[in-house]
Every structure is written in C-alpha cells, then in structure tokens.
Amino acid sequence: MRILLLCHAFNSLSQRVHAELRAAGHEVSVELDISDEVTAEAVKLFQPDAVVAPFLKRKIPEDVFATVPCLIVHPGPPGDRGPAALDWAVLAGEHEWGVSIIQATAELDGGPVLASRTFPMRPGRKSSLYRLEVTEAAVAALFEALQKIERGEPGDPPPPGRWRDPVSPTARRIGWTSDNTLTVLNKIRSADGFPGVIDEIAGREVRLFNAWIEPELTGDPGTLLALCHGAVCRATVDGAVWIGHMKEAGERPFKRRATAVLGKAVAELPELPIDSDPEKGRGPICYREIGAVGVLEFDFYNGAMSTEDCRALLAAYQQATRRPTRVIVLAGGSDFWSNGMDLNAIEAADSPPDESWDNIRAIDEIAEAVIRTTSHLTVSAIGGNAAAGGVFLALAADEVWARSGVVLNPHYKNMGNLYGSEYWTYLLPKRVGEDGIAAVMGHRLPMLAAEAESLNLIDRVGPGNRADFDRFVAAEAQSLSEADFDVRLKTKTERRARDEAERPLQAYRDAELERMRMNFYGFDPSYHVARFRLVRRSPHAWTPLYLAHHRARVGGK
Ligand code: COA
C-alpha cells in the first residue's frame, strides 16, 4: 500500500511504525502536521491508499478523511476518547490499558474502531509505557487495521465511552502533607515526559520529572532530605521520593537535573553516593550478578549521558571488570539504551562547546574501557531504543544483541551533521566493512533491529517482549560464560593486540575528536542550532525531504 504517515512530530512511535511499514513492503512517506492546507497538499501529491496518524494532536481535515481512509492510533481502549488517554490511565492506577486504531470522522476519536489491543499496566512513567507497551500494541493493531482497509471491511461502531479533557494542573497537584508515596509517584509519572507536574520548591515554581522511590530515608512530609547524582529526595507522609529532573520557565526552559535547577537552595543538603545495589536502587546505575554474568544497568533519563553520568558509569564498569565473573552485560535503561551526549546539560552549560568537548571525551573513555577489556567477554543488550553516539557506544562490546522492536538511529546527521566519536571509525568498518559504512551513516532514517542485523551492525535479535528479552539475554550470556570461554577470550585478546599494532586506538580517537572539535568550535553552527531546537522541542516549519518523499519527487521543500 501507499501509506502517508501524518504526525505532530516524528517521535518514537512514528519512527517504529515507519520502519515496520517499510519492512513489510509498503511505500511510506511522512508529512508533519503543520497546517490543514499542507496536509491536503501532501495527500494530493502522494495519492496514498491510507493515511496513518501514529501521533497527532489535532483533527484530520474533513476533505482528507472524506477522500482517503485515515487511521488514528489512540493510546486508549475502544470507547476512550480525548487527548490525554495515557495520563488519565497512569493517574488512576489502571491495571489494564489498551490501544485502538480509529478511523477518522468528524467526531474526534469517535469513528469506527478498526482494531485494538490491551496490555497489563506496569508502574512506570507515561513516556515509558508509551515507548514500550503502547508501541508494541499499536504496531500489532495497526497491521490488523490496514488489512481490513485493504479488504474493504468496515470497523466496529465505537462502544459507548467518554471524552476526557487534558488533565488539569490541579488534578495532579501534589499535597506533600497528605499524599502518600504511591500517589505522589503516580501524579509525577502521569505527566512525565510532558508536561510535568507543577510544584513549588524553595519558593520557585518548577515542573517535576523522573521520580522514583527512596527505600530508606524518611522525614517531615515535604522537606528536602538529601541529594544523589543531581537528584533531590523529598519526604512524603509515608516515605520519600527522588526527583531527578525539573524544568522551570525563564532562560533555560528545558529539563535539567534537579540540583542544577535548584542550585544554592539545596547546596547544604547531604550528598549520598550512587548505590548500584539493586535492592537500594539509589541513582541511575545498578549492578547485579547472575552466576558468572555481571549485569550493569544504566537508566539515564531519556538515554542522555552527561559528563558526570559517563564518569559514574565508567567507575561502575571498571568495578565490574574487577569481579570474578566472566561476562559483563551492558544493559542500558528501560526505555533507552543510550542516546549519546546529554544535549540538555550541554545547552544549559555556560560554554556549550566546552561541555560538548568534555561530554564526548567522557563517553569515549567508556567506549575505550570496553574495547580494551581482556578480562571478560562483553555484551551490549539493547532492550530500549538507541541513537547517535549511544548506538556506537554499544558497538564497543564483543557482542551486540537487540530486542526486536527497538528503534536504532545509528547516525549523527540529524544533530547538525556531527562527525561523531565513540571510536566509530574503528568499530563500524570491522562490523559492516568499508562498503557498509555509507549504508549506516549516510542516511537519517530510523532502523529496526532486524535491519541492523542484516547489515551486520548487530549480532543477534532477541524477543520483542521486554521481559522475554531480559530472559534471553540472561540465558545467552550464561552460555557465553561456559562454551569456549577461554578460547574466545584468547582470540579477542590477540585480535585487540594485532589491531593496536596496526593502528593504535588513540589514533582513531584523535582523528575523530579533531573533526568533533570543528563541530563544536568551528565556523559551521549547525550542531549548536540543531541542539537548541531539540532541547526546546521547537516546532517544525516543514517536513524534511528525507521523510517527505512525495515532496522530494516534485522538488518541493
Ligand atoms: N540529550 C538530551 N535529551 C535527549 C537526547 C540527548 N542526547 N536524546 C533524546 N533526548 C530527549 C528529547 O529531547 C525528548 O525530551 P522530552 O522528554 O523533553 O520530550 C526525549 O529525550 C525523547 O526524545 P524524542 O525525540 O521525543 O523521542 P524519540 O524516542 O522520538 O527519540 C531520537 C528520537 C533519540 C532519535 C532523538 O531524540 C534524537 O535525535 N536525539 C539526539 C541524539 C543525539 O544526537 N545525541 C548526541 C550525539 S552523541
């Protein structure tokens, strides 16, 4: 089919749908929802068999849905209507939720239901549920709905349901002296990643993101208790929560670490070290051992790894290499494995070029430590999406396994044509050969795990369900630690020595960083402009041609 994706932004779900539809052989083009006229023009140019809206904030114009079937992905079960379906579900602590594919009509979310799926709810951020459960359910339901459209079958009339407006700030306002820990968490999670719960801390109005439970500390409800790796701990009536990120209006209206936003107001609080014990869970890094396998999880918010994050991860990795285990699994985080440098922290810095320079070198240190590891076999287990430097960091391990369903963006082009580092000039040709480099780096499109495997970018694709993937990784890592372990370790050590003799790692790093220095400090401001736009979530004025093929064909913009 010829399918036009109409989206507010080319977000994770839109990227996944785009990649899945292409993999299934459909001809796909994308139009960002800029105005009704532009949408109508896109339909005229592309003449699609169906319009699919994976992430849309407005109604589809009548002259469009009257001429072509338009399928809306709604993150709620049949009958649920309104723009904040998932917010309400998290806030209410629903046990089960769903996704519906609704055919667009004049009534918003009120058209026939072509397909739907349900899933058990997991305690987690709205954005995390969206990137995992909602995305998996949406893809499955969408394919069923498209088959119905192809066969000319109508959808079912929507069951009686209810319309719900956006959640008002008062419905989510936290009563620090009345709400228990679970209620506080649900309120914050229901608004995370957007728009954040409005709260007042130290006399300032802030929006809260990235909250998790503190296992031990308690205090007078509402008081601030401690700091840990940029997060602030605040007491509730029956415990305490950590708040990792905040946003405030003003000069830097984007998410930053809580301590960076609150500054002097929290400077006197005691600083607790990151505790990677899985039982304590204090901070974003967690280490556990299963037999001869050490599993290192690093759940940095939005997959963004700041200079401090990288230093903490390097220390945890070095610690893991000193353990009497045989295999180290780099497991990343729940939603993202890694998205490379922390562009928000860079944007907030007094000197973004200097902070970029520090950040890229700190990531390189991790990549180098992994590449140089000769005590263990290493595995990158990509269970969440990864982009840019995050993908290339994963390649530093001996084995790279990905959950089927993750979306990889293995290129730096979308960030103002960054050259990139993380030793990609050493790691990538070894995997894909010199000829394969352009296939990976030369485009700007997201890629599914299966495509990455077919290009040899990764070694294996594991199950799509996250819990199944974690079990797959645990079992396969265990067998790596048994079968031929000594032979494999010896072969790897010898190969590394040969590579080093041929061209030292330092030479790759120096050459990459020379190019990065030009990106950060040089004449061309593209990287700084792209970063400014990404962290501020600037709206699009047109659809880039690498997405809008229908416009590329006629030479439009
Ligand atoms: N630093 C800081 N924040 C980042 C980030 C990074 N490297 N990568 C993604 N994010 C944030 C986004 O700003 C967004 O923030 P929000 O929660 O305030 O909305 C959030 O992560 C989710 O990103 P979004 O783009 O909405 O979701 P997605 O799943 O569609 O992500 C990406 C697509 C990752 C491809 C896109 O965000 C991206 O290109 N990121 C930059 C990658 C990069 O260039 N890294 C630096 C070079 S090493």
Task: Indicate whether 280 pLDDT > 80.
Answer: no
Q: What are the strands, taking DSSP E only, across 314-388?
A: 327-332, 336-338, 377-382, 385-387
Residue 82 domain-assigned (yes or no): yes
Task: Indicate whether 552 pLDDT > 90.
Answer: no
How wide is the angle at C-alpha 77 spanned by C-alphas 76 and 79, nearest 5°?
Answer: 105
Identify the pLDDT of residue 553: 63
Task: Indicate whether 149 pLDDT > 70.
Answer: yes
Residue 471 domain-assigned (yes or no): no
Residue 108 domain-assigned (yes or no): yes
Task: Name the least confident of 142-151, 273-282, 353-362, 514-523.
Answer: 273-282
> Does the beta carbon of 333 sit less than 6 angstroms from any atom of ligand 1?
no
Ramachandran area for residue 322 (φ above 0: left; ψ -120 to 50: alpha; else beta): alpha
Closest CA to 444 of 319, 548, 551: 548
Pairing of strands 399-403, 447-448: unpaired
Identify the pLDDT of residue 39: 96
Task: Indicate whether 139 pLDDT > 50.
Answer: yes
- What b/e readout covers 17-42, taking b as 16+ CB neighbours within 10 angstroms? bbbbbbeeebebbbbbbeeeeebeeb
Identify the pLDDT of residue 547: 94
Phi, psi of 83 (to 5 degrees): -85, 0
CA torsion through residues 408, 412, 413, 415, sign: positive
Task: Indicate whether 268 pLDDT > 80.
Answer: yes
Identify the pLDDT of residue 22: 96
Domain boundary among 238, 266, 294: 266
How wide is the angle at C-alpha 330 spanned by C-alphas 324 and 333, nearest 5°?
Answer: 135
> CA-to-CA distance for 440 and 434, rounded, in angstroms?
11
Closest CA to 348 of 157, 142, 535, 107: 535
Mean residue pLDDT of the chain comes to: 96
- What b/e readout covers 467-497, taking b as 16+ CB neighbours within 10 angstroms? eebbebbbebbbebbeeebeeebeebeeeee
CA 339 / ligand 1 centre spacing (Å):
6
Q: Are 198 and 169 in contact (CB under 8 A)?
A: yes
Same structural domain, 116 and 10: yes
> Does the beta carbon of 418 sit less than 6 angstroms from any atom of ligand 1?
yes
Kindly indicate the confidence band of residue 236, based on its pLDDT and cuts at 50, 70 and 90: very high
Per residue in 103-131, pLDDT (tens digit) is: 999 999 999 999 999 999 999 999 999 99
CA 341 / ligand 1 centre spacing (Å):
10
> Does the beta carbon of 12 sit less than 6 angstroms from any atom of ligand 1?
yes
Residues shown for the chain: 557
CA torsion through residues 20, 21, 23, 24, sign: positive
Per residue in 164-202, pLDDT (tens digit) is: 999 999 999 999 999 999 999 999 999 999 999 999 998
Q: Are 232 and 270 in contact (CB under 8 A)?
A: no
> Does the beta carbon of 344 sit less than 6 angstroms from any atom of ligand 1?
yes
> Does the beta carbon of 462 sit less than 6 angstroms from any atom of ligand 1?
no
Same structural domain, 233 and 292: no
Number of the ligand 1 atom closest to the C-alpha atom of 209: 17
| 145 vs 483, more confident | 145
Number of the ligand 1 atom closest to the C-alpha atom of 420: 48
Mean per-residue pLDDT, 231-251? 96
Per residue in 412-429, pLDDT (tens digit) is: 988 999 999 999 999 999
CA 12 / ligand 1 centre spacing (Å):
10
Same structural domain, 329 and 461: yes
> Does the beta carbon of 421 sit less than 6 angstroms from any atom of ligand 1?
no
Task: Indicate whether 548 pLDDT > 90.
Answer: yes
Residue 473 domain-assigned (yes or no): no
The residue whose CA is least distant from atom 11 of ligand 1 is 302
> Does the beta carbon of 338 sit less than 6 angstroms from any atom of ligand 1?
no
Residue 276 domain-assigned (yes or no): no
Task: Indicate whether 556 pLDDT > 70.
Answer: no
Residue 79 domain-assigned (yes or no): yes
Kindly indicate the confidence band of residue 282, based on its pLDDT and cuts at 50, 70 and 90: confident
What is the CATH classification number for the domain harbouring 138?
3.40.50.170
Q: Which residues contact 538 (CB under 8 A, 6 or more apart)?
A: 532
Number of the ligand 1 atom closest to the C-alpha atom of 414: 39
Mean per-residue pLDDT, 506-511? 98
Same structural domain, 119 and 237: no
Residue 145 domain-assigned (yes or no): yes
Domain boundary among 215, 231, 266: 266
Mean per-residue pLDDT, 219-246? 97
The residue whose CA is least distant from atom 20 of ligand 1 is 302
Residue 209 domain-assigned (yes or no): yes
Same structural domain, 161 and 186: no
Per residue in 314-329, pLDDT (tens digit) is: 999 999 999 999 999 9
> Does the beta carbon of 73 sit less than 6 angstroms from any atom of ligand 1?
no
Q: Is the peptide bond before 193 cis (omega within 30 degrees of 0)?
A: yes
Name residue 403's amino acid.
R
Pairing of strands 96-103, 113-120: antiparallel
Same structural domain, 317 and 442: yes
Same structural domain, 53 and 151: yes
The residue whose CA is least distant from atom 25 of ligand 1 is 11
Identify the pLDDT of residue 279: 80
Closest CA to 285 of 333, 215, 245: 333
Same structural domain, 329 and 411: yes
CA 321 / ligand 1 centre spacing (Å):
30
For the chain, the domain total comes to 3
Same structural domain, 27 and 99: yes
Identify the pLDDT of residue 439: 85
- Please report which helix (H) or strand (E) contains residue 437, including its range: helix 424-441
Closest CA to 209 of 305, 90, 134, 125: 125
Mean per-residue pLDDT, 517-540? 96
The single-letter DSSP state of residue 275 is B
Identify the pLDDT of residue 161: 87
For 176, the token pair is 């620090």
What is the CATH classification number for the domain harbouring 224?
3.10.25.10
Same structural domain, 292 and 235: no
What is the CATH classification number for the domain harbouring 425?
3.90.226.10
Identify the pLDDT of residue 228: 97
- Please report which helix (H) or strand (E) contains residue 508, including its range: helix 505-521
> Does the beta carbon of 409 sit less than 6 angstroms from any atom of ligand 1?
yes
Pairing of strands 399-403, 377-382: parallel
Same structural domain, 261 and 338: no
Same structural domain, 363 and 511: yes
* Full domain range(s) for residue 104: 2-165+543-552
Task: Name the least confident of 72-76, 300-304, 552-556.
Answer: 552-556
> Does the beta carbon of 343 sit less than 6 angstroms from any atom of ligand 1?
yes
Kindly indicate the confidence band of residue 557, based on its pLDDT and cuts at 50, 70 and 90: very low
Q: Are 305 and 340 in contact (CB under 8 A)?
A: yes
Residue in the structure block whose two tokens are 């999880």: 297
> CA-to-CA distance for 176 and 169, rounded, in angstroms?
15
Domain boundary among 210, 237, 266: 266
Q: Are 440 and 455 in contact (CB under 8 A)?
A: yes
Identify the pLDDT of residue 9: 95
Q: Are 124 and 165 in contact (CB under 8 A)?
A: no
Phi, psi of 335 (to 5 degrees): -95, -40
The residue whose CA is least distant from atom 41 of ligand 1 is 339
